Amino acid sequence: MATADDLLDPPAREPFLQTPFGRNIALGVGAAVVIALMVAVWMWSQQPEYKILFANYNDRDGGAITASLDQMGVKYKFSEGGSAILVNSEQVHDVRLKLAAQGLPKGGNVGFELMENQKLGVSQFLEQVNYQRSLEGELAKSIQSLGAVSAARVHLALPKPSVFVRDVQKPTASVLLNLQSGRAIDAAQVSAIVHLVASSVPELLTSNVTVVDQNGNLLSDTSKAAGGKQLDPNQLKYIEAVQAGIVKQVESLIKPLVGENNVRAEAMAEIDFAQVDTAAESFKPNSPPEPQAIRSQQTSEANGPGGGAASGVPGALSNQPPGTATAPLTATAGAPPGTAAPAAGPTRKDANTNYEVDKTVRYEQRPMGGIKRLSVGVVVNYRRIVDAKTGKVTVRPLAPAEVAQINELVRQAMGYSKDRGDTLNVTNAPFDGVDKPVEPAADIPFWKDPANLPLAVRLLKYLVAAIVLAFLWFRVLRPMLRPVFRKIDHINDDAETADAEEEAAAEEEAKERAAVEEAQATEPVPEPPGAQGYRENLAMAKALAQNDPRVVANVVKAWVGAE
């Protein structure tokens, strides 16, 4: 019954967290938080590496790409202010191929697919504009396929055709390149872009193509438009390749004779890039002693009548044909009477002989890239002699025979030609530090090798995750769960003790039954009145003990506790 003091000063209530129920709740919440932290650390260590799938895309392409990724079930995320889409590094190439099969990203450039949706009633001007847009889009797509170019725009100025030659204008083109971050484009690539655009537009000259980057720098070479002549970057590379090949041949041939790092060679090559086609036709007069070849010969001979003086009366009678001739009845050996014998006329002979004239026709075609002249310089180090006893290094020049041998080998290696005007100079001189012992190159330590940096980062990531998990388990979660483990151990100990007691009681009872049965078997006891009922009860107890020993053990335990 509450008193007045209890009503005036009620007892203070125990805080909730100090109660057993509150402690159990706090313990469960703490364990859940620690387990969540451990799972978060483990997931962080197992998080896949994301790489850029596409960057610098427009909004339309971005929406189409994300929708396609959602349909394929590919996880992605954005970075760099939403200008790049990242996916798992193991899926980058696979996803790119799948998106390319769908025509993504389109890049904001419309190609010849614009011509597929032509409407009826389109004017010729609009058709020309669509064709120009399609051509510009296709050129931009081709240029964007270069690794250093992220985006490109092409502007074509196609003049209208004219029937007057004086009014014909050549087309021009302008290319705007947006390069990748930290990337640059060399002169050879710029020349390739210029030739690509010029080859795609009819009658477009390479000098009329202008290439500009996103910073406003003029990349194309305008000297050709002003009439200047410069070597093409490919020609410069060819010259460097020829010179490097000659140097490599010379050094590889001399190194076995003088040793490693004891020979230096340089070559200067003059290359003729002019392509010459020559056709020559020469005639040689025939010499009198040489037999002359007759090409054609023609001979004609004519015999004419006697050349007497003209006779007869001029007039019409002289121009009349003669009368009918009559043969004489008798022939005489001589001339007929009354006629004069014909006189023998002059003989005319004509001969025309054509002789062959000596003629030589020569066609010569010299390909571009031929070597006009070579200049090679070779420096050979002194011979190094190391004393086996003292280890002292001495040097001496090469013998003249050795220098002559090296000179001849270099001539063969470079393809020396005196008619071409090649020059060669082989010099034997001591190198700087030739008397110093050769020191092997220092090996780069494992931790300083840049090739091992990705592996070190991954191992460090796993190590940090393991340390954090170990700290949370041994310092936080295990101390919090220690009371729970103690309770579980206590319950298990009690259960084990009870089982042991039951087993001991069962063993004692079994021993007693065995002793009783043995005594009954050895010493027959006269059955008192009611002994038969006792035996039946004992048999029932034995059967019960065999079928359900736990019940018998509980009964024995109750007997012992009652005593």
* Side-chain-side CA neighbours of residue 391 (13 Å): 3
pLDDT average, residue stretch 524-538: 60
Q: Return the pLDDT at 416.
A: 92
Average pLDDT of span 88-96: 86
CA distance 433 to 436: 5
Q: Convert 260-279 into a string of H (helix), E (strand) and C (coil).
A: CCCEEEEEEEEEECCCEEEE
Tokens describing residue 335: 């001339």
Confidence at residue 424, expressed as pLDDT on a 0 to 100 scale: 93
Q: Please check the confidence at residue 16 and state whether its pLDDT lies above 70.
A: no
Question: CA 336 to CA 472: how far, in whole Å?
Answer: 164
How far is it, in rounded angstroms, from Cα 158 to Cα 203? 10
Please list, in sequence order, all residues whose beta carbon lies within 8 angstroms of the beta carbon of residue 408, skipping any fewer than 6 positions away: none
Q: Which of 559, 552, 562, 558 is nearest to 509 (CA)?
A: 552
Model pTM?
A: 0.40
Which phi-psi region, left, alpha or beta, contains residue 82 (left: φ > 0; alpha: ψ -120 to 50)? left
Residues with Cβ within 8 Å of 560's Cβ and at least 6 positions away in sequence, in order, are: 505
Q: pLDDT at position 198, please?
A: 92
State mean pLDDT over 5-29.
59
Amino acid 175: pLDDT:
94
Confidence at 250, pLDDT banded by 50, 70, 90: very high
Burial 41-61 (b: 16+ CB within 10 A, else e): beeebeeeebeebbeebeeeb
- Among 83-92, 220-229, 251-260, 540-549, the minimum mean pLDDT is found in 220-229
The whole-number average pLDDT for the span 277-284 is: 70
Q: What percent of the chain has pLDDT over 90?
A: 15
More confident residue, 216 or 11: 216
CA distance 97 to 147: 17
User: Which of 257, 280, 245 is CA-nearest to residue 426?
Assistant: 257
d(CA 478, CA 29): 14
Among left, alpha and beta (phi > 0; psi -120 to 50; other), residue 391 is left
Mean pLDDT of the chain: 75
| Closest among 463, 276, 303 to 372, alpha carbons compared | 276
| 17 has pLDDT over 60 | no
Categorize the per-residue pLDDT at 228 as very low, low, confident or very high, splitting at 50, 70 and 90: very low
**How many Å apart are CA 51 and CA 92, to the nearest integer?**
7
CA 256 to chain centre: 37
